[in-house]
Amino acid sequence: MTYLLLGFVIALAVGLTGIGGGSFTVPALLLIAGLPAAEAVGTTFVFAGVLRLIAAPFYLASRQVHSRYFRLLVQGAVPGLVLGMIALRLLSKGNNNPVIVIILGVVLTLSSSITFVPHAQVPAFARKNSSWLPWLAFPIGVESGFSSAGAGALGTVLLLNYSEMPPSQVVGTDLLFGLVLAIVGSIVHWTFGSISTSVLLQLLAGGIPGVILGCLLARKVPARRLKTVVALIAICAGLQLVWAGAHTLAARNAANTLKLAPAFANTVHP
C-alpha cells in the first residue's frame, strides 16, 4: 500500500509539472524500500519511463514537441547516459553502497537546485548556436545515467535558456527527451538484472492513474509554483540521502576500527 500511494503522488507531480520522477523515486526506494543503489536507480528508470510513455501523447497531440531540438538533445545525451550507467555499475561492485548513496544525494540536490536558475532566453543566439546543444546535453545524460534523475529539471532549464521555444513546447520536448533516456536506461538495467519487479509493479499500480490525472489537470494548475514545491522537496530528499549515506559510512568505519583494535593490541603486546 505504501508503494502504491508513493507511486500515485510521484506520478501526479510528473503529470502536472513534467519533473520529479527520478528525484523522488530514487530517495524513496533507498530510504523506504531499502533497495541497493543500483537496483533503486534501475527500478526508477522503468517507472519513470512508463510514466513518460503515458504522458507523452498528451503533449504530442497538442503539438508541443520541437522535433529538431529533441533530436539534438538525444544525440548528445544518449552517449552520456551510457557512460553514467557504466560508472554506476562499476561503483556498485564491492561494498560501496553508502558511497553511492552520498553521491546520489549530492547529484539529486544539485540537479533539483537547477530549477531555481533564472531563465534568460536569447532566441537569436539559440538559432545561430544550436549545434552546441548536443554537447550541453551530454552531461545531462551522464547525470541521468548515474542517478536516473535530472532529465526533467536540467533539460527544461537548458531549453528555456538555449532555445526560442515557448515554455509549453519546452515541457513537451523535454518530456519526450526524458522518455528516450528512460527507455534506453530501462533496457540496460533490465539486462544487468538491477530492477526490483515487485516494488516496480506496486509503484506502477498507483503511478499510472496518478500521471493520467496529472496530465488532465496540468492546464488548470499553476505549474510554475508546483515546480518550485517539487524542487524544494527533491532537494530535501537529496540532502536526506547524503545524511543517511554519511551516517552508514561512519558506522561502518567505526565497526571496522573496533574489529581491528584487538589485532593491533596483540601486535603491540605479544
DSSP per position, the chain: -HHHHHHHHHHHHHHHHS--HHHHHHHHHHHTS---HHHHHHHHHHHHHHHHHHHHHHHHHTT---HHHHHHHHHHHHHHHHHHHHHHHHHHSSS-HHHHHHHHHHHHHHHHHGGGSPP---HHHHHHTGGGHHHHHHHHHHHHHHHS--HHHHHHHHHHHSS---HHHHHHHHHHHHHHHHHHHHHHHHHHT---HHHHHHHHHHHHHHHHHHHHHGGGS-HHHHHHHHHHHHHHHHHHHHHHHHHHHHHHHHHHHHHHHHHHHHHH--
**Least confident range of 106-110, 139-143, 206-210, 229-233:** 229-233
**Per-residue confidence (pLDDT) for residue 79, from 0 to 100:** 92
pLDDT higher at 107 or 200:
200
Render pLDDT for 124-168 as a digit per residue (tens, 0 to 9).
666 666 677 888 888 888 888 887 776 766 777 777 777 777 776
pLDDT higher at 123 or 198:
198
Band (96; pLDDT cuts 50, 70, 90): low
pLDDT higher at 88 or 116:
88
Please give the model's pTM, rounded to 2 decimal places. Answer: 0.76
Q: Where are the domains of the chain?
A: 2-268
**Least confident range of 6-15, 47-56, 113-122, 208-217:** 113-122
Average pLDDT score over the chain: 77
